[in-house]
Amino acid sequence: MASRNKQSAERKLRRLVLAGNLSAAEQFLIAHLRRNPNDAFMQSELQRLLAGHKLRVTESSGERRRRLADELLRECSHTLSATPMANLPTLPTAELRHLRTQLRELAQQFKAHRLPQPAAATDYRAAIRRELRQRTAESWRRVAPKVAVAIVACLLLYGALLLCRSKSRQIEQELLSAITNNNPERVESALQVLDTAFHRFVSPGVQQSITRGNRWLTDIKSRHEYLQEQLFPPGERAVHVTAMPVSERARIERELNTLPPSMTGRLKARWNELCEMEHLALLQQKLDYINHLQRPLPPRPTLSGNAENDLAACRGQIDELRPRLGEFAAAPDSYELSETIIAPVRERLSELQTTANAIRAYQLLREEMMRCRSYSAHIAALQRAGQAATYTPVAGMLSITSQLPPENEIKSALMKSGYTEPDRTELQAIAATLVKGKPTFTATYPATAEQVHLLEDLFTAPSLHRRLYRVTGADGITAYTEQPPRIDYSDNRVYLTRSDLDPEQNMDNRHLTLEHIDKVQIRVLSAVPLMQHLGISRQNFFQQANIANLLSKVLNFAHEDCPALAQAYVYYTLLSVLDRHPHQHMTGIRHCPTMRRHAADFTRLARRHNLQLNRPGAWLSTSPAICRAETDFRNWFKAHAGFDYCAEIRQNFGPLGRVGLQYSGYIAENGQPVIFRELPAGKVIWYLTAEGFRSAPFDTAPAGALPYSPIFNAL
């Protein structure tokens, strides 16, 4: 960046000087040096300008080359004249070498600028080289005899040292071989020879092997003493193998296998004798322990149907059998007991625990039924109590009641019986939106501030309400313009002015000229047809718009000028408004499974492309990722076009909207109704029987009612 700024400043200075505007050039140089006071080139240019000399930025290549040649010649002449060639023998060697370096650097500069080097400089360098070679030869003649004597003495001493070192290495190899072969006698013999000051001197590396041999020998002796103490303890103390910790037994066996055979013969015989004695004693103890664990099990408790008594009986037997598991776990590891010994106890405990859980689930079901105040809570309670169906006394009863029909089937049954809803103001308002297609937002159900904010971009985003032309040149440059590009066939060019919506627009490339008209591609890219098709505006949206209808229009819209990502942005925004509606029953999405399926599929596609659909104008990018997303979303809209969400909502909501239903209680296990609401005398309730739903006044005993059947009354 700094290099480009410097080149730009030099070009501007050149233009000012060539134009004859010297005062402006002087002001420009002063301003530039205030910003960059360390720019030596610009400082020299300012001095030349003030002195009336020609500036270097205005030089031609020939002038620059002549100037550089003159400077190099002057520098070379100055260097040669500073020290005459005749004075070279009197100069110190360091100064001669420094002078040689200066001349070498000058020669490289002459070569870099393709200039011939002066003959005087070449002769001067040759004279310096001759003088340095002569001084080197004289120094070597003085020291050569002494160096020869020193070399001969060193070779003799080195030969003697190598001979002694070879002997030390041979003994060292014998020591290491004895350690590898686990032979303590040979190790001890090698150490007596090798562990001397002479061998340490002639072979310093041998000390490491000596240390290793001493450490190995000490370790072998200490391990042998440990085994001797464990297997032949002093004072005739008895040795019990089974009483030893597992780690100690493993250590003894490991030491017996790794120590040299000359040390372990008597110790191994003693260890085998002790192990055989302990094995026989352990076998008898194991048989007695197994007989104790396999004693007969008590009989299973009989289930009477009284949940509290049955639960107490099961838990009592669980408490009686559980200690056997502790006895099995507490058996010594040496017994190596099989799981089949304790399997009958585990199986009985599992059966008892399953029965106890079923009884407890049944008790919780009875308690939860008292808290249910809606049909959905009633069904959820029965579904959570599935384990209670394994409680044998109530299994048959719950197998029927747990298969409750969905609420729409119950409504259908009530409708067939002629029950309708006389006063349903709220339901009628919902039906007006979902069935008759009236506005989604009403005075009773207004839009929230969050929904208004989400919709604001649909009303104001320029990229949705402006017609753009996308122009692509032969070199791949893409630009957006709001005015049709001007095509000039006389000079085979296209002229355009970038729109402020163009992602690549800036102050330097606002006006663009493209060559080769036949290779320039122009395409209209506009979301205006989609917005006109929807017919929405800020003034009338909340008084007229039905969002389910707008979603259907977006889904079925097709126009060659409208980008698929613009269509996806509008579709996503409307889905977001529905998702954030505080009154979900007003959106219709509950009654339109296809809309829910489309929304999930649409969200997965956006997530796969990692696309942020909450920003308008994303379709103006020409990146490969955006192009792939454009193609996939265009195919998605084509694949899902032709569907009307409003028609499905009307089809599904229409029958539901003609009857009102109220969950009022349930049938207890004794066959009596449990009513949670205050009902007028003679009010008819509906309950489930084996043949289906049946009605009866709530204050009479329901005939044939199934236990835990829900109770409904028509509004």
Q: What is the DSSP string of 447-477?
A: PPHHHHHHHHHHHH-HHHH-EEEEEE-TTS-
At residue 429 the predicted structure's pLDDT band, cuts being 50, 70 and 90, is low
Final residue before a domain boundary, out of 270, 293, 316: 293
What is the secondary structure of 150-186 as a DSSP string?
A: HHHHHHHHHHHHHHHHHHHHHHHHHHHHHHHTT-HHH
For the segment 106-141, what is each residue's pLDDT rounded down to a tens digit?
A: 777 777 777 777 777 777 777 777 777 777 777 777
Residue for token digits 């004798």?
Answer: 273
E strand or H helix at 687: strand 684-689
More confident residue, 694 or 351: 351
As a whole number, mean pLDDT of residues 184-209 equals 67
Residues 413 and 458 in one domain: no
At residue 714 the predicted structure's pLDDT band, cuts being 50, 70 and 90, is low
Final residue before a domain boundary, out of 18, 42, 58: 58
Residues 544 and 691 in one domain: no
Residues 565 and 521 in one domain: yes
Question: Does residue 455 lie in a domain region?
Answer: yes
What pLDDT, on the 0 to 100 scale, is given for residue 145? 72
Final residue before a domain boundary, out of 58, 84, 106: 58
Bridge partner residues of 694 (DSSP) = 687
Query: Above 60 in pLDDT, residue 105?
Result: yes
Q: Quick one: CA torsion of 146, 150, 151, 155, rounded to 10 degrees?
A: 160
What pLDDT, on the 0 to 100 scale, is given for residue 171? 67
Question: Does residue 711 lie in a domain region?
Answer: yes
As a whole number, mean pLDDT of residues 172-187 equals 72
Whole-angstrom distance, CA of residue 45 vs CA of residue 56: 7
As a whole number, mean pLDDT of residues 142-169 equals 66
Put residue 374 in one of left, alpha, beta given phi > 0 → left and psi -120 to 50 → alpha: beta
For the segment 404-428, what is each residue's pLDDT rounded down to a tens digit?
A: 777 777 766 655 544 433 334 556 6
Question: Does residue 43 lie in a domain region?
Answer: yes
Tokens of 367: 């308690």
Buried/exposed 324-354: b ≥16 CB within 10 Å, e otherwise: beeebeebeeebebeeeebeebeebbeebee
- Residue 128 DSSP label: H
Long-range contacts of 398-404 (CB under 8 A, 24+ apart): 398/708, 400/690, 400/706, 401/688, 401/706, 401/707, 401/708, 401/709, 404/378, 404/379, 404/688, 404/710
- Residue 288 DSSP label: H
For the segment 4-50, what is each residue's pLDDT rounded down to a tens digit?
A: 677 777 777 778 777 777 788 778 878 888 888 887 777 777 777 77
Query: Above 70 in pLDDT, residue 525?
Result: yes
| Identity of the residue numbered 54 | K
Put residue 609 in one of left, alpha, beta given phi > 0 → left and psi -120 to 50 → alpha: alpha
For helices 2-18 and 22-35, angle between their N-to-C axes, nearest 10 degrees? 160
Query: Above 80 in pLDDT, residue 560?
Result: yes
User: Which residue blocks in 385-469 are alpha helix, DSSP H?
Assistant: 392-401, 407-416, 425-434, 449-460, 462-465
What pLDDT, on the 0 to 100 scale, is given for residue 636? 92
More confident residue, 677 or 401: 677
Residues 628 and 663 in one domain: no
Whole-angstrom distance, CA of residue 277 vs CA of residue 273: 7
Other residues' Cβ atoms within 10 Å of the Cβ of residue 16: 20
What pLDDT, on the 0 to 100 scale, is given for residue 421? 38
For the segment 602-638, what is each residue's pLDDT rounded down to a tens digit?
A: 889 888 888 777 778 888 888 888 889 889 999 998 9
Q: Which residues contact 332 (CB under 8 A, 6 or more apart)?
A: 242
- Residue 372 DSSP label: -
Q: CB–CB of 222/259 below 8 Å?
A: no
- Residue 117 DSSP label: P
Number of structural domains (the chain) is 4
Question: Does residue 200 lie in a domain region?
Answer: no
Tokens of 327: 């006895």
As a whole number, mean pLDDT of residues 68-91 equals 72
User: Which residue blocks in 203-306 are alpha helix, DSSP H?
Assistant: 206-231, 246-258, 261-293
pTM for the structure as a whole: 0.39
Whole-angstrom distance, CA of residue 464 vs CA of residue 565: 11
Average pLDDT taken over every residue of the chain? 77
Residues 668 and 710 in one domain: yes
Whole-angstrom distance, CA of residue 210 vs CA of residue 694: 103
At residue 175 the predicted structure's pLDDT band, cuts being 50, 70 and 90, is low
For the segment 644-676, what is each residue's pLDDT rounded down to a tens digit?
A: 888 887 776 665 555 566 788 888 877 888 888
| Least confident piece of the model among 19-23, 396-400, 404-408, 524-528 | 396-400
Q: CB–CB of 561/529 below 8 Å?
A: yes
| Least confident piece of the model among 117-121, 289-293, 400-404 | 400-404
Give the best-scoring range by mean pLDDT among 332-336, 493-497, 581-585.
493-497
Residues of the domain holding 539:
432-635
Residues 417 and 530 in one domain: no
What pLDDT, on the 0 to 100 scale, is given for residue 417? 47
What pLDDT, on the 0 to 100 scale, is given for residue 163? 63
Question: Does residue 353 lie in a domain region?
Answer: no
Question: Does residue 320 lie in a domain region?
Answer: no
Tokens of 502: 């163009």
More confident residue, 591 or 645: 645
Q: Which residues contact 653 (CB under 8 A, 6 or more apart)?
A: 431, 434, 435, 588, 591
Whole-angstrom distance, CA of residue 321 vs CA of residue 338: 18
Buried/exposed 558-591: b ≥16 CB within 10 Å, e otherwise: eeeebbbbbbbbbbbbbbebbeebeeebbbbbbb
Question: Does residue 371 lie in a domain region?
Answer: no
E strand or H helix at 343: helix 343-369
Whole-angstrom distance, CA of residue 294 vs CA of residue 106: 106
Residues 596 and 701 in one domain: no
| Identity of the residue numbered 207 | Q
Residues 481 and 601 in one domain: yes
Q: CB–CB of 536/420 below 8 Å?
A: no
Q: What percent helix, strand, coil does the chain show, rounded to 5?
A: 65, 10, 30
Residues 437 and 571 in one domain: yes
Whole-angstrom distance, CA of residue 611 vs CA of residue 609: 5
Other residues' Cβ atoms within 10 Å of the Cβ of residue 170: 10
Query: Above 70 in pLDDT, residue 580?
Result: yes
Residues 554 and 686 in one domain: no
Q: CB–CB of 103/124 below 8 Å?
A: yes
As a whole number, mean pLDDT of residues 55-70 equals 71
Q: CB–CB of 685/679 below 8 Å?
A: yes
Residues 700 and 557 in one domain: no
Query: What distance, in Å, lies between the first and last C-alpha atoms of the chain?
Result: 79
Residues 620 and 685 in one domain: no
Bridge partner residues of 713 (DSSP) = 662
| Least confident piece of the model among 440-444, 477-481, 558-562 | 440-444
> CA–CA distance from 234 to each of 187, 224, 228, 245, 665 (Å)?
30, 15, 10, 20, 86
% pLDDT > 90, the chain = 1
For the segment 466-478, what is each residue's pLDDT rounded down to a tens digit?
A: 888 888 887 778 8
Question: Does residue 129 lie in a domain region?
Answer: no
> Given CA atoms 537, 543, 544, 547 in this order, what sign does their dihedral have?
positive
Query: Above 70 in pLDDT, residue 323?
Result: yes
Largest CA distance in the chain: 142
User: Which residue blocks in 468-527 are alpha helix, DSSP H?
Assistant: none
